[in-house]
Structures are given as C-alpha cells and as structure tokens.
Amino acid sequence: MSFQLTEEALDMRQATREFTEKRVYPNAEEWDAKGEIPEDVIKEAQELGFFSVLIPEKFGGLELEMLTYAVVIEELSAASAGLGITVSVNNSLCIEAINLFGGDAVREKYLPKIAEGWIGAYCLSEAGAGTDIMSIGATAVDKGDHYLLTGNKLWVTNAGFADVFIVFAKTDPSAGRKGLSAFVVEAKSEGLSLGKKENKLGIRCSDTREVILVDVKVPKENIIGAEGDGFKTAVGILNGGRIGVGAQAVGIGMAALNEALKYSQEREQFNQPISNFQAIQFKLADMATRLEASRMLVYRAAALKDSGEKFIHREASMAKLFASQSANYIANEALQIHGGYGYIKEYAVERYFRDARITEIYEGTTEAQLMVISRDLLRS
Ligand SMILES: Cc1cc2nc3c(=O)[nH]c(=O)nc-3n(C[C@H](O)[C@H](O)[C@H](O)COP(=O)(O)OP(=O)(O)OC[C@H]3O[C@@H](n4cnc5c(N)ncnc54)[C@H](O)[C@@H]3O)c2cc1C
C-alpha cells in the first residue's frame, strides 16, 4: 500500500485542524473539568460534516473514505479525546451499523436524519456482558408487526443526547450466536430511559450512561439485517470501530509527544534544557517511533477497508492493540518528562495520561484484541 495520504484526507486534516485550533484546543481542559462538550460545538462539528463522514452522499453525508475518517478522528482526539470518541461512535458504530448491515428501508429512514443532525449511540455492553457478548440478557420478543425490547445497557457513549440507539438483544435466547439481533431504537420511544452520567477517569467530556429498556415497541422494519444476524453485525461493526479507537489513540499520542517536545526544550535543569540529556532524547525518539508505527497500522487497516477487503479483523485488532498500548506508553513518558508539573492539571499531559487509558478498554480490551489476532494466526 502507498503511505501517502490522499488529497481528500489532506484536505479534511486541514479542515479539522482549523476547527480544533479555533474551537477545541483552547477549551478542552474546561470541558474535561465540567464533564461536557457545549451544544454549540457539537452543532458546529455537525455543520462541518464530522458527524456524517461515513454517510453516503445520496443520504446527505460526506461519503469519505475510512482513511480520511481515521485522519479526522486522530485530529479531533489530539485536541479532545472526548470529542473524538463522540464523533467516532456516531460514525463507526451507529452510521456503519445502519449503512453496511441494514436494509434499504432502515437506511432511507435514518441516514438522512443523522446527516441532518440526529446523533447515534451503540448499546452492546451490559453488566454481565462485556468481552463475552453472548451473555447479553436483553430480549426482543416478536409481536407480529413489532418487537418488544427489554434490557439494561451499560456504558453507552453519547446516550445523554442521542436520538437513535443501535441495540443488541436476543430474539432467540436458545439459538446461541444465531439468536442475537440488532435494532434501531429511537430515543423518544416509550419505555426507554437513561441512567445518570458516569463520572469517569478520562474522556470526561464524553457522555456515558446506562440505557434502560422496558417493553420498548420497535417497528419490524427497524431490525438491522435479518433476525439472528446480530453477532455478525456486532463483530463486523467493531472492525471499523477499532480503526476509530486506534485513530483516537494516535491522536492522544501525538498530542502528548508534542507537549513533551515543547516542555523538554523549555525546562532547564543543571543550567540547560532537559532536552540536552540523552535520557530525555531517547524517550522522545522511542515515543515518536511508536507513534509512527501506530499511525501506519491504523492507516493500513483503514486503507484495506477502503479497498473493499471484507476480512480485516486481524488488521483492525492489530491497529487498535498497538496504537492503544503506544498511546499509554507515550502519555506516561510525556508525563515523566514533565516531572512534577506533569502531575498537576495546569499541564495538558495530565489529561492525555487519563484519556489514553480507555483506548485499551472499549471496543474490545487489549486481551480481546490478542484473542482475535492469535485465533486468526492459528486458523491461517
Ligand atoms: C467510557 C466507556 C465507554 C464505553 N462505551 C460503550 C458504548 O458506547 N457501547 C457499548 O456497548 N459499550 C461501551 N463500553 C463498554 C466497553 O466496551 C466494555 O467495558 C469492554 O468491552 C470490556 O467489558 P467489561 O468492562 O465488562 O470487562 P470484562 O469483559 O468483564 O473484562 C474484565 C477483564 O477480564 C479480561 N477478560 C475477559 N474475558 C477474557 C478472556 N476470555 N481471556 C482473557 N481475558 C479476559 C478483560 O480483557 C479485562 O481485562 C464503554 C466502556 C467505557 C468504560
């Protein structure tokens, strides 16, 4: 593959940087402290198309390549990882679920609405079903012209302001993988309520909540794919999702490295900048190398997806695994280079250190990625 970014990706990188420099970098610390992103910023990001990057043009979206999408998430996440995941969940978990796995009816019903400003969320996890998604307890009972959905979904990103939820529930609890189905559920549906906003370690400005469904009536046409396709859909969607989280990790790593480079040349000890010390120089070199390797893995997985390759789970998992571990390594070293100043909130590395942690947990933990990669290696 070519390692040159396309013109489309370079243009979007420029547009994203203009937005983040004006609207995000100066405010990210305040959003982190308050635990929210102002509504007008979300609206502006929607108007600029960031929330509809993966919607086909015919439904009102930008219809950009996955590689361009990765670049957008990287740039947004460098400025605010909380904003990065807000946009990423909307695109790679909600829009992609409808667009790649839904039929024409559900695509025509919801994609134009999301392009116009609706926001999406993704409800897979439950208290007893994290890595082991087949333990899902939510059920969908066929009532003729509709389904009745009941269950409690945990950790739902964007839940507080989402208009639609992709909900996974068992249509046949005795049928194993063939018994799981996915549905589009509107937030205003009777019987759907939200839990309190979680008070998190990092990505604090993103909105994470429980979603509770009690006999929620969902029209038959809102099923994504066929009944029993849910497991296939969940696994398929996560390929794109993992590229998004990998790109988020690259963004955090890039921001942490930039801060470390700057600080190491400003901070003086022993009458000279600490960047004169080889111990610091080697840290910077190691951080930059891991960052570039992460970026290449993320771009490679994205480019493979763009080429139409269907089976990219190994590449998507490798990208997410390495980029998330590297983001944690880089943020940790950036904090170390800041010494005591890195431990207080006046310096952005403290936030990057906290934000990096989640990239090893959601959309499949580090251990889950190792399982995917090793299974694939052994199978082939
Ligand atoms: C901030 C945040 C946002 C989130 N957003 C969403 C969202 O929008 N939608 C959604 O559906 N979910 C979301 N999640 C949930 C997230 O995807 C899960 O937390 C994650 O998949 C891990 O599940 P768990 O927390 O239940 O951990 P568990 O599955 O209980 O895992 C606990 C530990 O055991 C390890 N482990 C588990 N099984 C194995 C095994 N077979 N072999 C080796 N090790 C194993 C794990 O790797 C982990 O280290 C979010 C979570 C957080 C914290």
Contacts of 259 (CB under 8 A, 6+ apart): 334, 338, 347, 348, 349, 352
Ligand 1 pocket, 69 CB below 6 A? no
The distance in angstroms from the start CA to the end CA of the chain is: 22
Ligand 1 pocket, 369 CB below 6 A? no
Q: Which atom of ligand 1 is nearest to the CA of 124?
A: 11
Contacts of 299 (CB under 8 A, 6+ apart): 3, 5, 67, 70
Select from 378, 285, 373 the least CA-distant residue to 321.
Answer: 373
CA 209 to chain centre: 16
Partners of 123 in beta bridges? 167
Tell me whether residue 363 is one of the annotated catalytic residues.
yes
Residue-level pLDDT at 380: 86
CB 327 within 8 A of CB 359: yes
Q: Mark whether 288 and 328 lie in a shared domain.
A: yes
Q: Which atom of ligand 1 is nearest to the CA of 121?
A: 8
Residue-level pLDDT at 319: 98
Looking at residue 305, what DSSP letter applies? Answer: H
Q: Mark whether 221 and 361 lie in a shared domain.
A: no
Residue-level pLDDT at 310: 80
Q: Mark whether 32 and 125 lie in a shared domain.
A: no
Query: Atom 4 (ligand 1): residue with closest C-alpha?
Result: 155
Ligand 1 pocket, 370 CB below 6 A? no
Mean pLDDT by 10 residues, the chain (380 residues): 85 98 98 98 98 98 98 98 98 97 96 98 98 97 97 98 98 96 98 97 98 98 96 93 98 98 98 98 98 97 93 95 98 98 97 98 98 95
Residue-level pLDDT at 318: 98
Three-state secondary structure call for residue 343: helix
Q: Which domain holds residue 162?
A: 120-228
Residue-level pLDDT at 2: 62
Q: Mark whether 205 and 175 lie in a shared domain.
A: yes
Q: Mark whether 354 and 266 lie in a shared domain.
A: yes
Residue 2 forms part of a structural domain:
no
For 70, the enclosing helix (H) or strand (E) is helix 66-79
Cα 133 to ligand 1 centre (Å): 10
Q: How many domains does the chain have?
A: 3
Residue 214 forms part of a structural domain:
yes
Q: Looking at the whole model, is its pTM more than 0.85? A: yes
Ligand 1 pocket, 361 CB below 6 A? yes
